[in-house]
Structure 1
Amino acid sequence: MKRAALAALALAVLAGQAQAGDTAFVTNQSSDNLSIVDLETMAVTKTIPIGGKPAGIAVTKDGRRAFVTSPDSTELSVVDTGSGEVVRRIKLAGGPLGIAVHPSGAPVYVADWYEHELFVVDPETGEITGRVEVGQSPSGVAVSADGKTIVTADRDSNQISIIDAATLTVTGTAVVGERPFGVSFSADGRQVYTADVGSDSVTVVDLASRKAVGTVKVG
């Protein structure tokens, strides 16, 4: 069961998917849009034009706002999921890819694939309120349920960066598998899972010790 759960995690992160309640949100790079899917009927209820090869996506807890990164246009799109409209486009630098949203709904954290940074963005004003230097080619981003800790999957450094959300400082790193791309917290917030595309594995990291405590081989 654990293996299946971790494999599902890796798939969701890599495919550009997010979920809120009984609704799934899926980015489609080939068609430059966002699909909203009713999980009960498995039907697409809305298709929203985004542009710029949309990749990463994060959704607020209430499902009312979706945030989408577009690496080709270097933009962050703020989507009203009810109306199906893009209500704001925020211009960023580099190559925005991975994304996470604070449990309160703001700020939004965006990994800059090219400049080895994490952007902290106010989605209401469009202002970049902070930047954190992390490892090389950060891809995935996750924030803990209590909003206190952020982690990035630094693909070309084979590590995660652990960030204090209050001070926006890197408090430590942990070595994981080859080319980590996706990252997620465990339900209790004590562990982090990385999807390592270079080694076809999922690494389990203990946050207290900042060390890998397990590896699950996947396809």
Structure 2
Amino acid sequence: MSLQSFAYVTNVSGANGTVSVIRLSDNIVVQTVPVGGVPFGIAITPNGQFVYVVNSFGSNVSVIQTSDNMVIQNITVGVGPLGIAITPNGQFAYVTNGNDDTVSVIRLSDNMVVQTIAVGDRPFGIAITPSGQFAYVTNQLDGTVSVIRLSDNMVVQTITVGSLPVAIAITPNGQFAYVPNSGSGTVSVIRLSDNMVIQTINVGSTPSGIAITPNGQFAYVPNTSSDTVSVIRISDNMVIQTITVGDAPRGIAITPNGQFAYVANTDDNNVSVIRLSDNMEIQTVTVGNSPLRVAITTITKPLSIPPTLKVTVFNIELTAIVYDNG
């Protein structure tokens, strides 16, 4: 057995959507998993055993078992689900339902929906604080973020941000949330101690995703209409670099060791691999049709052992021949 890292990429186009599984040691797609219609958001349990894929057209969530990448269950949620986040303790998943303005709460021990929470207009992205105490939900059409207290699943506050917020990420120290506003080309920075927007950062056109490095030093924001990724230095919230990637980048995930970012380029049907030490795109990986979101995990997998070569040896009689060199 060995530890191996994989990226799971939702591909939204086609009659039925798929998830591409990329082995990160060599950036090879090792499997394609059929899921539901228009798979959108994706999240992986903290133990790496299960991948939860939100199927927007099916209004359900597919559960993939990572040991063999088989879909073992489909869970019905609200209408038009878009985003998903899993609590740090791995006990619950929260799913944003864009078409009925709710969040479904799934108990992961039995994959049952145990509660439905009303939020804002077209809830889209969602992130949960490292403490597991609050979930932050971006409401795309009313330009707000709903704050859900997870102890009782009550909305305790609504924060106004920019135009058309579609994603959200929280710093590892739990102090700030970063919200890309796709309609205004900005990122709102929320201080979580008082849920105040303390800064607005200009990035590229139509920012549609975000990921923060494990050390909390940088945020990476794909800009769909600019075909770029903006790099924000979190210490001063300055954009320090802009990286050119593929056509219509949307989703992004960063490896647990903080060495690479994987960016889904929706209109190129591939994923850009960015080396974060110098922010260079070093490779593109072809995946399915219209990749949208990415999630990464490290799990224990059996070692790949080459097939045994069976050799049959027959009895051979050898006769020694002595030559006279004399």
- TM-score normalized with structure 1 length: 0.92
Higher helix share: 1
Distance 1:32 1:6 in 2: 25
Indicate the percent of aligned positions where both proteins have the same amino acid: 28
Q: Which residue of 1 aligns with 2:8?
A: 5
Q: Which residue of 2 aligns with 1:18?
A: 85
Trace 1:191-206 onto structure 2 (pairs within 5 A): 191-206=260-275
Distance 1:54 1:98 in 2: 10
Shift of the 144–56 alpha-carbon distance from structure 1 to 2, 3 Å rule, reads same
Distance 1:27 1:134 in 2: 25
Q: Which residue of 2 aligns with 1:176?
A: 245
Question: Offset at 1:211?
Answer: 1.5
Trace 1:61-210 onto structure 2 (pairs within 5 A): 61-210=130-279
Distance 2:5 2:270 in 1: 13
Match of 2:232, as an amino acid? I
Contact 1:3–1:216 (Cα < 8 Å) also in 2: no
- Structure 1: runs of 5 or more not aligned: none
Match of 2:283, as an amino acid? G
Question: Offset at 1:6?
Answer: 4.2
Question: Offset at 1:70?
Answer: 0.5
Q: Which residue of 2 aligns with 1:40?
A: 109
Q: How many residue pairs are counted as aligned between the two chains? A: 219
Question: Offset at 1:93?
Answer: 2.8
- What is the RMSD of the two structures over their aligned residues, measured on CA atoms? 2.0
- Structure 2: runs of 5 or more not aligned: 11-18, 22-39, 44-53, 55-81, 289-326
Contact 2:85–2:93 (Cα < 8 Å) also in 1: yes
Contact 2:211–2:254 (Cα < 8 Å) also in 1: yes
Question: Offset at 1:11?
Answer: 4.6
Question: Offset at 1:63?
Answer: 2.0
Distance 1:93 1:187 in 2: 30
Question: Offset at 1:44?
Answer: 1.2
Larger Rg: 2
SS at match of 1:46: strand
Greater relative CO (CA pairs within 8 A, separation 6+): 2
Contact 2:120–2:146 (Cα < 8 Å) also in 1: no
Question: Offset at 1:18?
Answer: 1.3
